[in-house]
Amino acid sequence: MLTLAWQLPVLLLLLLLSMLFTASEIGFLSVSRSRVERMREDGGRLGGVIAYLHGHRALLLSVIILSITTCNYTAERIATSIGISTLGTPWGPVVAAAIMTVIILTLCETTPMHWAAAGPARAVRWTGGLVYFFSIILRPIVFVVSGTVRLVLRLFGVRAATILPSVSEEQLKAMIEACEEQGELQACERRMLRGVLAFGDQRVKEVMTPRRDMICVDLNATMQDVLDLGLGSRHTRLPIYDETPDSIVGIISLKDLLPYLARGEMDRPAKLAARPALHLLENSPADIALKQLQEARQLMAVVRDEYGGTAGLVTVEDLLEEIVGDILDEYDVEEPEVLAVAPDEYICDATVSLRILANYIDAPLPVEDFDSLGGWLLDLAGRIPHAGESFQEDGLRFMVEQSSETRIEKVRVTELPESS
């Protein structure tokens, strides 16, 4: 049995090792593959060691878990021995257990976890050599333990799978923010990555062109009428309807009019060139809608509301813009939905999705309750506000810049200081 003079240094060493192993676990599971590759290319032998451990997760986790368990168990035994020698029984073991529980939870678990999460690359550089050294020493034990685990799993009919890191969406968002702060991501790249994460949560009705802004063709129109309307609106595809826009029967592409134009048959009914329309529900997830458009080999779909009426139109371009931002051609006039005019001040289109606006401001927004900024303001006002009216809600000031008798058009959004 070690004397008290030896027990304290050994106890401190074990706690330090436990801290380092905990930090290494979070660091290796959080650091990106691309960052590890850069370490391997620039970090010499240590970089190669880190890349090896990162590529052998089963070995890595087995060594770390075994080391943490051994360090904590041995430290608790030594602490109990110190407690008995100083306080006697029964209080010595009780006090030792209480103190060790607090120390392990705070110093050996929580603190290194947060430290490693704040800088995964730094954590693996600090601990990579230590983990590799213990992986060599403990490899025989790890081999026996891993074999036993696989045998037990096989008895229960479970096949051991490759160990992969489990990362939640919130962790991914935090990692994106950390990468931007460290200069590894530009603002546009961060916005694109956040768009990918939010894409599955968006609904078609948040992305579509609403019915009031649709340009449609009557079923009785001629092909020349369609061509004139398409050239005037600069749209290459137009929905065709029977009596009302609630009865859209197809989509006409101006490209399909070229054979009739060449033959001088533009006075023929436009419905002859119409193709069947794909119909989507307004509450369909955006990612599912994109997949349906791909499978149907369509670039445009009619969006239906819960009553079967036409709610709007959605295109592949509309959906992709939620990820990559506005896609402009040579005819588009760039009018961003959100324009920064001053620090914490933006001019916004009232139709902008609250999910998109959330990428620009820090204040919480009711993204689950309202689709657009205009819809939220209509709910706050209880009516259609006039230009010049302002509202204040949740640390934000809204000034209506433009409005009509039927809707809000432009809004100035200002983030207020916390003292306001």
d(CA 243, CA 252): 16
187 and 257 part of one domain: no
Name the band, by pLDDT with cuts 50, 70 and 90, for residue 420: very low
pLDDT at 181: 67
pLDDT at 415: 87
Residue 180 pLDDT exceeds 70: no
d(CA 290, CA 315): 9
pLDDT at 92: 82
Residue with tokens 């990612």: 287
378 and 236 part of one domain: no
The answer to whether position 86 is within a domain reads yes
State whether the Cα torsion 362-364-367-368 is positive or negative: positive
Cα 218 to the center of its chain, rounded Å: 42
Domain count, the chain: 4
CATH of the domain at 375: 3.30.465.10
In percent, the amount of the chain with pLDDT more than 90 equals 14
The answer to whether position 331 is within a domain reads no
Q: State pLDDT tens for residues 86-137.
A: 888 888 888 888 988 999 999 888 898 888 888 888 888 899 888 889 888 8
The answer to whether position 162 is within a domain reads no
Q: Are 246 and 169 in contact (CB under 8 A)?
A: no
Q: Are 303 and 311 in contact (CB under 8 A)?
A: yes
151 and 188 part of one domain: no
* pTM: predicted TM-score of the whole model, two decimal places: 0.51
Contacts within 8 Å (CB) and 24+ apart, 108-114? 108/15, 108/18, 108/19, 108/22, 108/72, 109/22, 111/19, 112/19, 112/20, 112/22, 112/23, 112/26, 113/22, 113/23, 113/26
pLDDT at 17: 92
Residue 60 pLDDT exceeds 60: yes
Q: Are 68 and 22 in contact (CB under 8 A)?
A: yes
37 and 55 part of one domain: yes
Domain-terminating residue out of 296, 324, 352 = 324
In which domain, by residue range, is 308 found? 204-324
The answer to whether position 330 is within a domain reads no
Q: Are 90 and 64 in contact (CB under 8 A)?
A: no
Could you please report the per-residue DSSP string of 173-206?
Answer: HHHHHHHHHTTSS-HHHHHHHHHHHHHTT-BHHH
144 and 181 part of one domain: no
54 and 151 part of one domain: yes
Q: State pLDDT tens for residues 368-382.
A: 788 788 888 888 888
Residue with tokens 């008995």: 84
145 and 281 part of one domain: no
Name the band, by pLDDT with cuts 50, 70 and 90, for residue 146: confident
Neighbours of 401 (CB within 10 A): 15
The answer to whether position 160 is within a domain reads no
In percent, the amount of the chain with pLDDT more than 70 equals 90
Q: State pLDDT tens for residues 262-304.
A: 999 899 998 898 899 999 999 888 889 999 999 999 999 999 9
What average pLDDT does range 297-319 have in this prediction? 90
The answer to whether position 333 is within a domain reads no
pLDDT at 228: 92
d(CA 206, CA 356): 10
93 and 223 part of one domain: no
149 and 16 part of one domain: yes
Residue 334 pLDDT exceeds 60: no
21 and 140 part of one domain: yes
Residue 6, token pair as written in the block: 């030896």
Mean pLDDT, the chain, whole residue set: 84
Residue 163 pLDDT exceeds 60: no
Name the band, by pLDDT with cuts 50, 70 and 90, for residue 161: low
What average pLDDT does range 31-55 have in this prediction? 81
Exposure of 250 in the CB half-sphere (CA atoms within 13 A): 13
What average pLDDT does range 4-28 have in this prediction? 87
249 and 296 part of one domain: yes
261 and 363 part of one domain: no
The answer to whether position 329 is within a domain reads no
Residue 19 pLDDT exceeds 90: yes
The answer to whether position 236 is within a domain reads yes
Lowest mean pLDDT segment, chosen from 200-204, 244-248, 267-271: 200-204
Domain-terminating residue out of 301, 324, 347 = 324
